[in-house]
Amino acid sequence: MGMKRNMSLGRGEGGRRARRAVIASLTLVAALLPATAGADPIPGSQTQVGAWRIGGYTRGRTAEFDHCALYRVQGNGFGMAVGLSARGVNTLAVEAPDWGLTAGETYPVSVTVGAAAPYTFSGRAISPRAMLLNAAPEVFPQLKSGVTITVSANQKQYAMTLDGIEAAAAKLKDCVRQHAAAASPPPGLVTSIQVLLARLGYDPGPANGVVGLKTNLAIAAFQKSRGEPSDGIPSEALRAKLERAVAERSAGPETRPGAAPSPGARTGSATGPGAAPPPRPPASGDVTTGTGFYIGPDTIVTNHHVAGACRTIRVRKSGADLGAAKVIALSRSDDLAALRTEASSKSFLKLRVGAPIKPAESVLVFGYPLAGALSSTGNTTLGNVTALTGMNDDSRYLQISAAVQPGNSGGAAIDESGRVMGVVVSKLNALAIARVTGDIPQNVNFAIKVSTLASFLEAHNVTYEADSTTRELSNTQRAELAEAGSAQLECRK
């Protein structure tokens, strides 16, 4: 009988209250979506921290990750939700049972956090009881335990204490890290994984940076061949395994004499996309040179093809030996390397972050081309961004008109504000193209985009400084910055 009574309560008023609370919380979480009024929870993502519920949500009825949210709905029906997107953007939604809103309409909302002066925000209603607020970013750090938030809208006022919100916010960040990493890999990472899979004989579909069914199946097949769990998810760890697998295939098509480079393949110093077959590796003891630039007092960035096969690396400047460097991070697919130096530099370059690169922007390239023939103090060339992609629309590259020669590989391409916008990687093989087209191409050179570089550094926990400040420097000032932050690299193989 006792069991029957409990079951009847579940179907009665207690059950109705519980169902109303669940519906209210889902409506509130849906308000955090910028483009739709529907959100599906990610299975297994929901957890409770004190009075707060935390979970991950998709965009509308798709499987695409949108945000994680912490939320709480009180017994009086007043609720609050704080969302956090993969880009670190917070959103705030509130609801009350008697606001009587009209979906799609905008309402003035007064929000008071603790004893601070009230804020006035606009709220966009997504249902008769819930709205998304255009909350100012400075509000979110004020949401702390012991503080009361008071919300007034449509002549109704509600309040909620925020006890325990710090622990919930920490869980919220964990939620985003977990689900955003799996759901939204960087396009550059996906492209390189697709290229590597194709080299190994799998079919991931086009190398377009988009994770589709073919890419998932190809990844799963590769994982299964190694006896690993076949989740089909792109990751930095997967790319590293693919790079090792490609390197182990000594008879791969990209290394046969006379074979054309695979899409995105890197060839010898400043001879990349569209080039003739890569030269044979130098015999042991041979010395080659390239360029690198400091991104910190003891950290240099260059190309994989400059530093990846070296027994020893020496850092030189104006002909003087500054000591040895060792490799701390490599990516063959993106042709990037990071080095740690013995001697530190007072000058280093900052990465351009948060400002999209546009066609025709000015580019300055500094490097040490044709070592032994040209100046040991380095060379500066000027040009423009001529395309936002490389050969075959490879989105990891910029096409630039600034002249580069063998030895420029690994040097910085900097913008008008003196920020790194790319890493010089290659030039078009003019003679090879002329044999095919009958015309000699001019000033067709390539740099790895700064976004690809930043992803590489973050994946390997290499620190760098970003700069979003826009300022116009003279060419002389830019050249001085580039020269001070660059060095010649001498590789002995």
466-481 average pLDDT score: 89
Lookup: tokens for 228: 């690993």
- pLDDT digits 0-9 by tens, 70-82: 999 998 999 999 9
* pLDDT over threshold 50, residue 410: yes
Task: Indicate the range of 211-220, 245-254, 320-329, 445-454 predicted with least confidence.
Answer: 245-254
Q: How far apart are CA 479 and CA 418, in angstroms?
A: 9
Average pLDDT of the chain is: 79
Confidence of residue 87 (pLDDT cuts 50, 70, 90): low
Confidence of residue 257 (pLDDT cuts 50, 70, 90): very low
pLDDT at 59: 66
Task: Indicate the range of 47-56, 160-169, 226-235, 307-316 predicted with least confidence.
Answer: 226-235
* pLDDT over threshold 50, residue 275: no
Residue that wins the pLDDT comparison between 211 and 450: 450
- Tokens 């979110």: give the residue: 140
Which candidate, 265, 263, 239, 246, places its Cα nearest to that of 185? 239
Confidence of residue 271 (pLDDT cuts 50, 70, 90): very low
Which candidate, 158, 160, 166, places its Cα nearest to that of 142? 166
Is beta strand 299-302 parallel, antiparallel or unpaired with respect to 336-341? antiparallel
* pLDDT over threshold 90, residue 265: no
C-alpha dihedral, 424 to 428 to 431 to 434, nearest 10°: -160
Strand order from edge to edge, sheet including 65-73 = 47-49, 52-58, 65-73, 79-85, 90-95, 130-133, 119-125, 106-113, 148-153, 156-161
Burial (CB count <10 Å: 0-12, 13-18, 19+), residue 2: exposed
Strand partners for 384: 362
Strand partners for 293: 301, 486
Q: How far apart are CA 410 and CA 336, in angstroms?
A: 8
pLDDT at 329: 93
Where in the chain is CATH 1.10.101?
Answer: 187-249
Question: For residues 307-333, b (16+ Cβ closer than 10 Å) or e, as one string?
Answer: bbebeebbbbbeeeebeebeeebbbbb
CB contact at 8 A, 136 and 119? yes
C-alpha dihedral, 427 to 431 to 435 to 440, nearest 10°: 80
Q: How far apart are CA 188 and CA 317, in angstroms?
A: 32
Kindly report the CATH class assigned to 187-249: mainly alpha
Task: Indicate the range of 236-250, 346-360, 377-391 predicted with least confidence.
Answer: 236-250
Where in the chain is CATH 2.60.40.1880?
Answer: 2-182
Indicate the DSSP class of residue 16: H
Measured in Å, how far apart are the chain's first and last C-alpha atoms?
Answer: 84
pLDDT at 427: 65
Q: Is the pTM of this model over 0.85?
A: no
Percent of the chain with pLDDT over 90: 38
DSSP of 233-294: ---HHHHHHHHHHHHH-TT-GGGSTTPPPPTT---STT--TTPPSPPPPPPTT-EEEEEEEE
Q: How far apart are CA 292 and CA 225, in angstroms?
A: 38
- pLDDT digits 0-9 by tens, 106-131: 899 999 999 888 888 888 888 899 99
Q: How far apart are CA 61 and CA 80, in angstroms?
A: 22
347: how many CB neighbours lie within 10 A of its CB? Answer: 14
Burial (CB count <10 Å: 0-12, 13-18, 19+), residue 86: middle
Which candidate, 182, 158, 181, 178, places its Cα nearest to that of 170? 178
What superfamily in CATH does domain 2-182 come from? Answer: Invasion associated locus B (IalB) protein (2.60.40.1880)
pLDDT at 8: 29
Q: How far apart are CA 187 and CA 165, in angstroms?
A: 34
Domain at 287-492: CATH architecture = Beta Barrel (2.40)
* pLDDT over threshold 80, residue 12: no
Where in the chain is CATH 2.40.10.120?
Answer: 287-492
* pLDDT over threshold 80, residue 475: yes
pLDDT at 63: 63
CB contact at 8 A, 281 and 309? yes
